[in-house]
A and B are shown apart, each in its own frame.
Chain A
Amino acid sequence: MNNRFKTLSKGIIDVSPLMIPVVPFGIIYGVIGMELGLSAYMTFGMSIIIFGGASQIVLLQLFSGGASSFVTITSVTAVNSRHLLYGAVFSEYLFHLKLRWKIILSYVLIDQAFAVSNIYFKKNKENKFKHYHLLGAGFTCWTIWQISTILGIVLGSVVPEELGLSFTISLTFLALLINDFRKYKNIIVMLVSGIVATIGYNTIPFQAYIIVATLSALSVATIITLIEQKKK
């Protein structure tokens, strides 16, 4: 029991610093949801049902542009496709667990939890209860995300529209990319995506510009990866 509790606490402590940017992100999400005229229940419900910050904001943006549900669902899934990578990396550490553990841990396998638990798992392969680390980290993220969403919903009903807070969507996503600004290959991929989306915004039907831009940029990323491997 002691070891379980220790590992769980370690997960909570490890992920805590990463929660600092999550709070304003959650608030921005809640505020924008309210500004776009969604009900408080729906804005909060999305945080519970989807539990993926970036994808929830994409959903709001597509909703405000009048996208169809098919395009919305496809775009949200595309944004979250990176979780396939997290699951694949963690399968090695979690495959022996009971199904109910897999069901619970999958729900909270998000960027921040992956980042800290991946480091912990690599160093503590022998710990029988290492999955408690992901449990602690994941549910810390979950709790913080829900609280900040609620804060945003409350603030959203009092913040005036003149402040132009919808610009924070662009700023928030820009901030999520700062670690890639130094990698020129990522910058190429970013430019392809941004330019295709800007041109396609009016020319691609059904608000599918996010999907088309993403696929174009990922094709370029694939080419870059293939060229890189040939060089080796």
Chain B
Amino acid sequence: MHWTTIIYCGILTYLTRFSMIFFLKKDILNEKTKKVLTYVPSAIFPAIIFPPIFLDATGSIDIDSNPKILAAIIAIIIGYFSKSIIATILVGLAFYWFLIFVYYQ
């Protein structure tokens, strides 16, 4: 990792926040574009979530006795009902620890 990479990331991130405030007097993004932008988290985060859960260290799909899949399912259920970010993370992690340290031992 180089500092230059971080600085470029910082500048571009800043521009995503600054550009619209600087250039626009009024909100000109049309409703369609706005609607699509609201999907950005749903479009990006699963790309980060899925591969480490479903792929093993060698990069092949691992579905049998995979504690991460089970823990993720529990986390989804907790998240769905509690709508609490912390509860989702903590219960998911606790269940994952239970699986790797107790159940699969």
B59–A174 contact, CB under 8 A?
no
Query: Interface residues of A toward B: which range?
Result: 35 or more
- What is the minimal beta-carbon distance from B22 to any residue of chain A, in angstroms? 6
A229–B32 contact, CB under 8 A?
yes
- What is the minimal beta-carbon distance from A66 to any residue of chain B, in angstroms? 11
Instruction: Determine the chain A residues whose CB is within 8 A of the CB of B6 once the complex forms.
Output: 42, 45-46, 49-50, 59
Instruction: Determine the chain A residues whose CB is within 8 A of the CB of B14 once the complex forms.
Output: 106-107
Q: Which residue of A lies closest to B39 (CB)?
A: A221
A55 CB–B CB distance under 8 Å: yes
Q: Which residue of B lies closest to A186 (CB)?
A: B42
C-alpha gap A76/B39 in the complex (Å):
16
A78–B44 contact, CB under 8 A?
yes
Query: Interface residues of B toward A: which range?
Result: 35 or more
A197–B80 contact, CB under 8 A?
no
Which among B19, B26, B48 is the interface contact of A170 at CB below 8 angstroms?
A: B48
C-alpha gap A141/B8 in the complex (Å):
22
C-alpha gap A107/B83 in the complex (Å):
29
Q: Which residue of A lies closest to B96 (CB)?
A: A167
Chain B 61-88: CB-based contact to A (< 8 A → 1; otherwise 0): 1000000100110011001100111101
Q: Which residue of B lies closest to A229 (CB)?
A: B32
Among B12, B17, B29, B83, residue most surrounded by chain A Cβ atoms (within 10 Å): B17
Which among A20, A95, A214, A222 is the interface contact of B26 at CB below 8 angstroms?
A: A95
C-alpha gap A93/B89 in the complex (Å):
36
A83–B16 contact, CB under 8 A?
yes
- What is the minimal beta-carbon distance from B62 to any residue of chain A, in angstroms? 11
Which among A87, A107, A163 is the interface contact of B19 at CB below 8 angstroms?
A: A87
C-alpha gap A95/B97 in the complex (Å):
50
Question: Given known contacts A174-B72, A217-B42, A217-B47, what 4 new A-B pairs fall within 8 Å (CB)?
Answer: A87-B17, A170-B68, A174-B88, A181-B79
Give 21 pairs: A residue, B residue, CB < 8 Å, sorted on A: A24-B89, A28-B89, A50-B10, A58-B48, A69-B2, A72-B9, A77-B12, A78-B44, A80-B17, A85-B40, A95-B25, A163-B97, A174-B76, A178-B79, A193-B43, A194-B47, A194-B49, A213-B46, A217-B39, A217-B44, A225-B39
State the A residues within 8 Å of B (CB). Answer: 20-21, 24, 28, 38, 42, 45-46, 49-52, 54-55, 57-59, 61, 63, 69, 72-73, 76-92, 94-95, 102-103, 105-107, 109-110, 163-164, 166-182, 186, 189-198, 201-202, 209-210, 213-214, 217-218, 221-222, 224-226, 228-229
